[in-house]
Amino acid sequence: MLLGALTVAAGIGLLSTSAYLIARAALHPSIAELQVAIVGVRFFGIARGVFRYLERLQTHDTAFRLLARLRVWFYEHLEPLAPARLLTKRIGDLLSRVVVDVETLQHFFVRVITPPGVAVAMIFAVTLFMSRFDLWLSAQLLFFLLLVGLAIPLLTNRLARPFGEREVELRSALNAALVDGVQGNADILAFEQGPSHLDFVSNLTTDIAGTRERNAWVAGFSIGLTGLATNLAVMATLLRAIPLVQFGMLEGYLLAVVVIATIASFEAVAPLPDAFQHLESSLTAARRFFEIVDAPPAVIDPKLHTPLPESTQIRAAKLAFRYADALPPALRKLDFDIAPGRILAVIGPSGSGKSSIAHLLLRFWDYSEGEIMLGGNDLRSYRLEDLRSLFSVISQDTYLFHGSIRDNLLYAKPDAEDAEIFAALEQAQLLTFVHTLPQALDTPIGERGLMLSGGERQRLAIARALLRDAPIWIADEPTANLDPLTEHEVMRSLIGLMRKRTSLLLTHRLIELETVDEILVLQEGRVVERGDHSLLLKAHGLYYRMWSHQRQADGMEIA
């Protein structure tokens, strides 16, 4: 604000001093009488350029630093909300908030905060300067400055408000549609929905263009009003100053000074209509920004820090959970116990609640009833970061990043050596495949690993979990997308590795389950059967029916 005020002051000083110098020189005075004005023109001319440069440099540097901090701050608040609070948000919309909405806030820092401060300082200085010549000149200039600096911006803001809000919403919808189009491109093409998706994107683009056109009309209208008010101020100054000259109350050569000073003073208030026009879009972007930031996380770190336990035994009692009040329970009065070195398998049809157990153990959600004890302490007594450091997870939909195979593996252990990486790949039955690639570990795998087959992506996820080597393993459908032969090989290797840890296997594929210590059979969130493989087969219940159906589907005989 200080640099902006100095810039405007230098501009007013340059024009006023120049007007004085030219008008005074017309009377042919001694050159000595003009020396101060000559030096003043040079000073103000240089100072204006220097101050303008410094003001723009400082303003934009500050704005961009703030935007960078905002993005980091936004992500710091976004991360604790995942995944529970973000399920209803579209990826494109979140991307729009962290990129486009933050960029919109640039207008707020550059065009909304600084100009009003500069305007207030300069209105005070200019009216004080003009009062030295005549109080009425000062009063009428103050009126026109307030007209341009307050009345026109308020009118502009009122006219532009619906367009600013609408543009932010449309840009968010467009970004979401574009991200959906990129991520779902294969499905869009497969179902021949390309033309309709393009029409949808085109309509959004047309709406944005229409909104910007209306905003441009508002901007043009405010510029016209500002120009009109400036000219009216000049006319009013002339109507007041000319009689003052005629009656000897004002020196003739000062007439040019007061008129030029009047014109120059509007530089201080001219940016305000534009600032108020961008105000509504900035406020809308800020509201969307804080809608995420202010959302309470579903899971909160405990106030008191509990150190990690020596034992990794997990015990659940009367565990109940539902994802939302309007939804049926995902788990109902569940009891289980997993000791170190033992494997608990939880099986059941889709929707039976298997993955919900993993979500609760990782504290993506918190259970509503019952308890989960880890090493003798309540699971919720540990810090989230500490708790999750104990787990290696193999999920059925592991996210692979747009990078190389090495990059995705190092995500689990950033300091891993090549020997460790190769050992993990071998155990996951992927080493031979990696050696056939032209760049081996440095081969890029594309967005979400789409350059790999489904089975290769799953084995890479297993290798990543192996590399992390945490004391507790959760394998959620670890052999999804694998062919039967590889499935048996991977499961045999995986169970051998899980045997050395506290392990939970969640699956509907009944492969190698005769080697696990205990099996829970879930149906609609309830335990309907429990025991080992042979005991459950003898019971001829749900487990036996699932096992029989799977063997028939695989073309195997039922013993």
**54 has pLDDT over 90:** yes
| CA separation, residue 268 to residues 2, 112, 117, 118, 399 (Å) | 12, 13, 10, 7, 53
The pLDDT tens digits of the residues spanning 259-302 come to 998 998 998 888 888 878 777 778 888 888 888 888 888 888 88
Asked whether residue 559 carries a pLDDT value surpassing 60, the answer given is no
Q: How many residues appear in the chain? A: 559
Asked whether residue 133 is domain-assigned, the answer is yes
pLDDT at 42: 92
Q: Please, what is the average pLDDT of the chain?
A: 85
- Residue position matching structure tokens 């350059």: 451
Whether 127 has a pLDDT exceeding 60, the answer reads: yes
Burial label for 181, CB within 10 Å (0-12, 13-18, 19+), is middle
Contact 520, 316 (CB under 8 A): no
Cis peptide before 29 (omega within 30 of 0): no
- CB-based contacts of 373, cutoff 8 Å, min separation 6: 313, 314, 315, 316, 317, 379
**In terms of Cα–Cα distance, which of 153, 125, 130 is closest to 141?**
130
96 belongs to a structural domain = yes
Count other C-beta atoms under 10 Å from residue 27's C-beta. Answer: 10
**pLDDT exceeds cutoff 70 at 481:** no
User: Can you read off the two tokens belonging to residue 175?
Assistant: 């970004």
Does 520 map to a domain?
no
Q: Does residue 520 sit in helix, strand or coil?
A: strand
Whole-model pTM? 0.73
- Contact predicate 273/141, CB 8 Å: no
Confidence (pLDDT) at 7: 92
- In tens, the pLDDT along 487-539 reads 777 788 788 888 888 889 988 888 878 888 888 888 888 888 888 888 888 88
Instruction: Please check whether residue 373 lies inside any domain of the structure.
Output: no
The upper half-sphere exposure of residue 180, i.e. CA atoms within 13 Å in the direction of its Cβ, equals 17
Residue 390 maps to a domain: no
Structural domains of the chain, count? 1
The residue segments making up the domain with residue 85 are: 71-293
Q: Kindly state the percentage of the chain with pLDDT values over 90.
A: 9
Tokens 């790949």 -> residue: 425
Whether 196 is covered by a domain: the verdict is yes
Residue 86: pLDDT over 80: no
- What DSSP character marks residue 404? B
What pLDDT sits at residue 50? 94
At residue 49, the pLDDT reads 93
Quote the percentage of the chain above a pLDDT of 70: 99
Q: Is residue 506 one of the residues assigned to a domain? A: no
CA 241, CA 253: separation in Å to the nearest integer?
Answer: 11
pLDDT tens sequence across 411-466: 888 888 888 888 888 887 788 888 888 888 888 888 777 788 777 787 888 888 88
Burial class of residue 424 in the structure, from the number of CB atoms within 10 Å of its CB (0-12 exposed, 13-18 middle, 19+ buried)? buried
212 domain-assigned: yes
In what side-by-side order are the strands of the sheet with 391-394? 391-394, 472-476, 502-507, 343-347, 518-523, 526-531
Rounded to whole angstroms, how far apart are CA atoms 455 and 393? 17
CATH number reported for the structural domain that contains residue 273 in this entry: 1.20.1560.10
pLDDT, tens only, 171-224:
888 888 888 888 788 888 888 888 888 999 899 999 989 888 888 898 899 899
